[in-house]
Amino acid sequence: MKEALFNDLVKSLEQAAAHARGQAVPGLQVHPAPTAADIISIRQQAGLTRKQFAAILGTAVGTLRKWEDGSRAPSGAARTLLLVLRRNPKAVLEALAA
């Protein structure tokens, strides 16, 4: 392994450990996952039923229900889309209507 790559890996691990300890890491942006109450609020703000909202998120209604009751949490693309929907639901709905 090249020394520069090794040094980058070591630095990344040190930053990950610092973040895990609750320390600030320069340049790291953390976007907390929406809570169950947030998800309900986002859906209601968009004026959508669970069925419509689940379709937009590309997930099953049962999965959405579990997110809304707090027994499961979204991850990956669904989590990101929820964060965008929270900030600008109109943009997402317009983009998906095309």
Instruction: Quick: pLDDT tens for 48-70.
Output: 999 999 999 999 999 999 999 99
Question: pLDDT tens across 1-37, in order?
Answer: 789 999 999 998 898 898 889 888 988 887 788 999 9
The CATH-assigned architecture of domain 36-97 is Orthogonal Bundle (1.10)
Q: Determine the straight-line distance between the first and last CA of the chain, rounded to whole angstroms.
A: 48
- Can you give the pLDDT at residue 74? 93
- Compute the distance between CA of residue 61 and CA of residue 15 in angstroms, rounded to an integer: 38
Residue 97 has pLDDT above 90, yes or no: no
Contact 92, 57 (CB under 8 A): no
d(CA 3, CA 52): 51
pLDDT of 85 above 80: yes
Q: Which of 68, 45, 56 is nearest to 92 (CA)?
A: 56
CA–CA distance, 25 with 3 (Å, rounded to integer):
23
**What pLDDT sits at residue 20?**
86
